[in-house]
Structure 1
Amino acid sequence: MKIALPSRQDLIDSHFGHCEYFTVFTTNDTDILEKEILESPAGCGCKSDIATVLADMGVTLMLAGNMGDGAVNVLNNTGIQVVRGCAGNVKEVALAWLSGAIKDSGDSCHEHDHGHECNHH
């Protein structure tokens, strides 16, 4: 499985469309096997071809901070599931997802509220 995370300095960038790069982890059921860095395209994320590029790489999940519904729909249309409301170190977030500690908060970026954390159960 491949997981993409919008990143800035190894942390989840809360603004998907303006992140510095995407961290792409190849994982098995419990651990990270490989890490790739994909440079972020110029311009807004939802208007670029980033969803297609990530899907072509085999990405099926994005762990993100805030993201508008338009960007979520573009990613979903390429077969990428999106989990919003994540924050923190990209590797720790990916490992938390693999351990089952993260669920989708369902938060869209309507208001620019940066107080969201991943919902742990």
Structure 2
Amino acid sequence: MKIAIPYENGQVFQHFGHSAQFKLYTAEEGRITGAEVVSTDGQGHGALVGFLVRSGVNVLLCGGIGGGAQMALAQAGIRLCGGITGNADSAAAAYLAGTLVFDPNARCTHHDHEESHSCGAHACHADKGGCTGSCH
């Protein structure tokens, strides 16, 4: 099993779509057997799901995450546990122990777009890494 956590300074980074790094954990028989921090190379919301798929991730533990990313994860077959804060290593260990407390309804709602447009065909938030077209 491979677990991914948006990562910054040892903590669960709180905005999935702006994650510069993930910590990827390899687990076998309920325990962590390996871990590495990998750069996302500034990819945005939609591209991050593809990044996780290519990395072989089965589970994402994160803080805030938008609805479009949630849907893309579900379509990719990646289990989502959102609303998590604190130390990333502790979160991964708690997930494997079956004791992780998370919010199945965690959703980032920061996307305040003009009424007449959606993110569907452009890179919104280009100044912050952008999304690739599926913010909502």
Coarse TM-score class (shorter-chain normalised): 0.7 to 0.9
Count how many residue pairs are aligned between Structure 1 and Structure 2: 110
Shift of 1:103: 4.7
Moved segments of 4+, more than 4 Å: none
Partner of 1:107: 106
Name which one, 1 or 2, has greater alpha-carbon Rg: 2
1:85 match: 83
Percent identity, aligned pairs only? 30
Partner of 1:76: 74
Letter in 2 for 1:108: R
- 2:12–2:86: 8 Å Cα contact kept in structure 1? yes
**2:96 is the counterpart of 1:98:** yes
One-letter identity of the residue aligned with 2:51: V
The CA RMSD over aligned residues, in Å, is: 1.8
TM-score normalized by the length of structure 1:
0.81
2:61–2:81: 8 Å Cα contact kept in structure 1? yes
Alignment of 1:38-49 (within 5 A): 38-44=38-44, 46-48=45-47
Whether contact under 8 Å (2:7, 2:13) holds in the other structure is yes
| TM-score, normalization by structure 2 | 0.73
Quote the Cα distance in structure 2 between the aligned partners of 1:42 and 1:11.
Answer: 18
* Per-residue CA distance 1:12-65 (angstroms, 9 max, x = gap): 001111123000000123211011222023252x232x2122212221100000
Aligned-pair distance for 1:104?
4.0
- What stretches of structure 2 of length at least 5 have no aligned partner? 112-136
Q: How does 1:1-121 map to 2 (within 5 A)?
A: 1-44=1-44, 46-48=45-47, 50-105=48-103, 106-110=105-109
Alpha-carbon distance in 2 for matches of 1:89, 1:58: 23
Instruction: Quote the residue 2:124 is aligned against.
Output: none
